[in-house]
Structure 1
Amino acid sequence: MDLRGKNWGSTVGGCKSKTLYRTGRSSTMSSLRQSFIPGLRNSFNTITHRSNPSSTNFVTRLARPNGRGYSTATHTVAHGEGAHAHGHANTHQYGHVKRRGAFKRWSIRLALAIAFPLTYVTGAAFPPQLVLMIFPRFAPAPPHKDSARGKVHTSDVERCLQELDLVHDMREKVHKGEGWYETRPYDKYDPQKVHNSLTAGSLRGPGRLAVPPVLFAKEDESEAIAVLHLGRALCGHDGIIHGGLLATVLDECLGRNALMNLPSRIGVTANLNINYRSPCMADQFVVIRTKTDQLKGRKAVVSATMETLNGERVADATALFIEPKWAQFLASSGVTEAMGRPMPSPHKSPALMDEQTERII
């Protein structure tokens, strides 16, 4: 192929090599290659071997005729010097990157090897709420309250209830005389009537309402705080407390606050509105806070919130309670005593307690 008159140029390391013209015959290039290139090759190989014995023989590679059919000393030296200079730097740089890459890979593998079992163990010990909703934990049938397992379960719930920080903080307020008192609703319910009560009888027992709630109320009955444990046997969906049971608990707490403010301490639920904010997981303590919003004659408007111990809102409600006109006929029912009303003094209340019987003077 005739390349006469062609202008070839190359750039290595930012320096453009000299312009080369091929004008001679092939014999001239052969003689130049035989006389000059071998000496240059040996000299460059010696220098390269001393600096980096594992480096590639760039002169040998570049001195070979390329696809364009030309090779000169100037072109070869330019490529050789550039290749030598950059080859040494790149070898050192790539080797460093390779070591860093291997370290990074093994670090990631080690982190994953530790993270997977740690995540599994943590998730099994403290599963997220969504996981418990989709895959609820297995729970056996609740034991009978008079059995050995039932008594142990009840004792454990009572012990945990007494050790709650909220209970300790409220008891400090009671002892300091900040206007609060403590009571246990349905703790001393009439045994002859307990079987006719939903919250004090039918729902009482291990796995349900295992123990009576601890309740702290203001002496003027304007506010109250109840702490209650909800067992696994009160679920609608497995692992989640039934919404109707939450409504029952809220109605009981709201009713107590309202009835303590009505003249005869007797009232019925006229209206109850509940907003469910989040699922209530089973086998946990909940805190119900109630307060009196409005009093008008025989009517009492009260509100309540239900939260977990972590402060997560489960539900909130408002209710209207009305004292019926026939309330005097229910005066001996002992309802307010069962809800934990303190023993009244004659100069503070028209109601007197006589052998668990209420009488209206």
Structure 2
Amino acid sequence: MKRTYNFNAGPAAIPLAVLEKAQSELVDFNGTGMSVMELSHRSKPYEEVHNRAASLMRELMEIPEDYEVLFLQGGASLQFAMIPMNFLKDGSSAHFIMSGVWSEKAQSEAGKLGSTTIIATSKEDRYTYIPESFEDPEEGSYVHLTSNNTIYGTQWQKFPSTKLPLIADMSSDIMSREIDVSRFSLIYAGAQKNLGPSGVTVVIVKKEMLENANEGIPAILKYSTHSKQNSLYNTPPTFAIYMLSLVLEWMQDKGGLKAIEDLNKNKASLLYSCIDQSGGFYKGHAKKDSRSAMNVTFTLKDENLTKAFLKESIEKGFSGLGGHRSIGGCRASIYNAVPLEACEALAEFMAEFQKKHE
């Protein structure tokens, strides 16, 4: 069976072992005579899948007991609205650190519901770096950041300490490395990059935040509703949560987040070395101290060469190397499920392409 080298930004690669296990269980899950997709979300067989996924997340991320793990829907985009609905207080401000388009979208949605301020931004430099320096606000509802920026290929290397609750959109690098969850009051992530297929959104939220949330908003949009119902208030995306549980088992089998982080660093190093040693043939978008281990963004010296590179890459069996439409260029998304061999093959292709066209 031939597998494409999948560098798509999302939905992204899923481990082959996970796909194969899901395939073997697709028609008859655990002797139920039904697919997971057919199970009632109130049944014991599905309940075991659901709780297993939450338990594995707690174990792998070392999530403290005073945090809830929720499985929601609507992707990060719904979280852009749910967070201010729940936590942006009247007469207070939500503070944003702007590092890319997704930070902009989060700030824009919050601005429709209350006051927002931008306390740091790298927009003036085309979001080529993470704006780590800012005056830490003492008043307000929360501080929001985006941990990894898929379009620009930048990533927080060290997270800030803030006086106010810190909220992070980790959609594109959650569980790609070890982090201290206790530094955050809320973490959210769409699953479709590191955790499985699209359809489920993970929210890790401190219980203290739930106790101080706004009232008077629709039940479906209140985090406390989902917390009290074990994320079963309404029908959850059962198949996506099942796939999430399989991906988490795969991570566990790989040795946990430390082993995954080491592998991701090796993959990124291969590609960044190829860029740095190209003598300017390839040029990275992100400044070196802000480079992402998840999304390697780069350009070639002109548009015609970029088009030739992308065309030839498809012929060689690579998928998803085109940059985001807003900035163009090239992008290799090397999430957890992208194997080292794919990055080795890409580095080899990049070297060969340079030799042929230089």
TM-score (norm 1): 0.21
Indicate the structure (1 or 2) with the bigger Cα radius of gyration.
1
Higher relative contact order (CA 8 A, sep 6+): 2
